[in-house]
Structure 1
């Protein structure tokens, strides 16, 4: 079975782990404080999950999810993720992360910064514009009328395809924004951010998003 390496066990990482295990994935999950701090979460997740260091989770995963604060992306292990698809859930919260001038001016994107940090990986934006609790509650089977949609973006078609497949398994339609340079369209304070929307509504909200806030 496919193994997902999860780097970051906060609200989003934890919920992704719960849904992935429910769907039959093996999960190796990590955080910055060490595997010993994840005992309760792993006990809840059951035998298909184990705790590890970020480097171990990166190495174990057939693909990975990075769900750490933007200020911590330089701590994401590089070599174990080489050649792998990496799903990036990040948003830029300057109040938490400090100011990144290139993000403030619209010259860069959070996922683009992660791609620069992981030059041999294939980064795709995913799961950044849904409330964490809704990852496990808002999904619906394919073809359900008004099915909720989520967006992805990547410079690599295979990474966007993996995000699309995972979205569908989790119960969501997909709207592809294109390259990572467009991934800002789902970030905070923009029309598509953390609201429930179907694919047509999401596409409309992406199109009207302002570049800077």
Structure 2
């Protein structure tokens, strides 16, 4: 979904995680006009060629450099690696949590077993110096690319955006809109639970009105 804004006026996106999800996110952000850097778990030379092929215009770099240079950090690492993730890498940053905790897939991760909190709330607790926003996680990476539509299109879908820092939420909402979706702002990071596996919008293809209806029904329940 192309964007008419100059890349120099858009926030720099740093993707941590070069798997299917991270690569798809880097690709759609780059195609929307955002400058993008991406890191895998080690030497960027290992992913330089695949980055050039799969994410044209993006650059591969070391994780610390990707995070340091980014205005928005996309956290797309395997969930089981999060416990060892260094919080200082993203201190002061807007961090978009794309990770999902799904015990049947990931195995039981005790860190995310606290029923009082959604998974992104737990991520925020561990990344206390960052401003965590939950979004994009409830769409499959294939659909994330295929379902993009221009603003005003009759079949444009919606993505939820949940966070406690208003400015961070607005930055991520703009990213959602520029990529090709309508952004639906939720009432705080705790509301991000509806975006998680088992939640009412996870994996669902909803337009903005349908998404709003789900929120209304949840509030009324």
CA distance in 2 between counterparts of 1:162 and 1:203 reads 21
Question: Within 5 Å, which residues of 2 pair with 1:72-83?
Answer: 72-83=81-92
Moved more, 16-25 or 33-42: 33-42
CA 1:188/1:15 → structure 2, altered by over 3 Å: closer, same or farther? Answer: same
Q: 2:211 pairs with 198, 202, 205, which one?
A: 202
Q: Which runs of 5+ in 1 are unaligned?
A: none
Report the RMSD for the aligned CA atoms in angstroms. Answer: 2.1
Q: 2:187 pairs with 156, 175, 178, which one?
A: 178
Aligned to 2:164: 155
Q: 1:164 pairs with 157, 162, 173, which one?
A: 173
Q: CA deviation at 1:35?
A: 1.6
Q: 1:93 pairs with 99, 102, 106, which one?
A: 102
CA 1:30/1:75 → structure 2, altered by over 3 Å: closer, same or farther? Answer: farther
How many residue pairs were aligned?
209
After superposition, the C-alpha distances for 1:70-117 in whole angstroms (9 at most, x for unaligned) are 222233332232221111111111134332457446211111121112
TM-score, normalised by the number of residues in structure 2 = 0.85
Q: Which runs of 5+ in 2 are unaligned?
A: 1-7
CA distance in 1 between counterparts of 2:49 and 2:28 reads 17
CA distance in 2 between counterparts of 1:20 and 1:41 reads 17
TM-score, normalised by the number of residues in structure 1 = 0.88
After superposition, the C-alpha distances for 1:23-63 in whole angstroms (9 at most, x for unaligned) are 222211012243233133222133x3221222221112122
CA distance in 2 between counterparts of 1:172 and 1:129 reads 13
